[in-house]
Amino acid sequence: MAERLLLRQIIRRWRADTAAPSCKIILTKLFYEQKCWYTAASDGENKVYQWLILPPFNPAPDASSIGKKLYGRPEETNATALKWILKCCPHLPRSLVQKLFRLRQVRKECSSAGSKDQRPRRIGAKDLMDIGDRIFLPKSVDDKSHPTIDENQSFSSEEERRFVQSLELYKGGVGIRRSLDELAAKYLRYDCMEPPRLVHRLDRDSSGILVMGRTQLSTTVLHSVFREKTFGASNDILGSKRILHKRYWALVIGSPRRRQGSVSVPLIKVVVDNGKSERITVADNSNRLSGQHAVTDYRVIASSPSGYTWLELSPLTGRKHQLRVHCAEVLGTPIVGDYKYGRQAHKKLGHYLESASDHLKVEKDTELESGSISDEQFSLHLHCKEMVVPDISVVLQNGNISDVDSARIRDIVLRAPLPAHMQRSWDLLSSNHNF
């Protein structure tokens, strides 16, 4: 009944001599807008017929912002409309939300008291939210029946499948059949309903400390801590706190010119072997802006006349192959067993492999205890020996992740012993030379 009265009011606005086609188009548009607003405004009993109204925007810190608070950096007091929708409606596919913005079907009701017209207005995905603003989405998006990709969906024909696969230009991957995530989900779950998730990973063939989150919430918080550490070092933020420390030990070929220092050069990924593989290298002046800033502190632990040096490496950023590239290309001291970035140095020592596939074959046929400098084949001498991480369990147990005080959070110090091949190299060098 209310809709009929509203329609009559709209019809009275138009003169009888208005052209029929144009009148129909304009009338339909206006009626749609008025109807949508009317049904949204008549939500006296929490019944929404045309709109899905999201909660008022509140910039309360979430798990991903814990890292900023621990590092003493200001939090974001506003967010884009896209981020707020994805946070309030995690079940909605990101592609669907972006489509709603493209179709101009997302509206926002401003909370500013000075605004006379409080009707929802169309907004874009990058529009910023103010405290108290409300987002209006079409009610139909909340039916939870959005189409998903069926991984088991078969092709209509074998010929079509082969044709699609023939369009593939490059397929990456390391060929790992059983990942640590799968093993942890099976053997490290203990009394938790959720499987643990990796937070800090290691390069393949390196050893040492891995960090895993016991729950999705703890994983998100730890990811934020690691991400903010890289952000602070990359942007040279003065006075940035050091609540996360990582120390690696590496045996390198040669010795750096200075016994301690800092390496701060950007890294970039390049494709080699006609697109068959890729590697990380130092960005030159031509592509410096597109490179990722990488910072590593180092100091010499011990050196020997035989040409080997033990280094302690402290990465301030977390870039792929950062330590290996900084050692090989900046310090001029490639890590022992790193045939990818120290091929020429190993060739001079008589430990040169023709290809990476030969390297993998040797490793598969070699026992885990072998690979020291006394063996025919070197294993990678890079080990994450110590890590200091904040004990975030205090925040998670209180249940209020917005109340974060870095002064009350203690440190957890983790130490991992050297692997067998690095320990034997250490023993061999220390027995022959007085470190």
407 vs 292: CA distance, rounded Å: 31
Q: CA of 316: how far to CAs of 134, 229, 338, 367, in Å?
A: 40, 7, 21, 33
Minimal CA–CA distance to 233: which of 317, 320, 325, 322?
Answer: 317
Bridge-based pairing of strands 51-53 and 134-138 is antiparallel
First and final CA of the chain: distance in angstroms? 92
334 vs 345: CA distance, rounded Å: 7
Candidates 62, 130, 142, 203; catalytic one: 203
Nearest 5°: the CA angle 98, 101, 104 is 155
Helix axes 2-11, 20-41, angle to 10 degrees: 140
Q: CA of 273: how far to CAs of 170, 342, 398, in Å?
A: 12, 17, 53
Count of residues for the chain?
435
200 vs 250: CA distance, rounded Å: 18
Is 297 marked active-site? no
At residue 96, what is the residue type?
A: L
Catalytically active residues are: 203
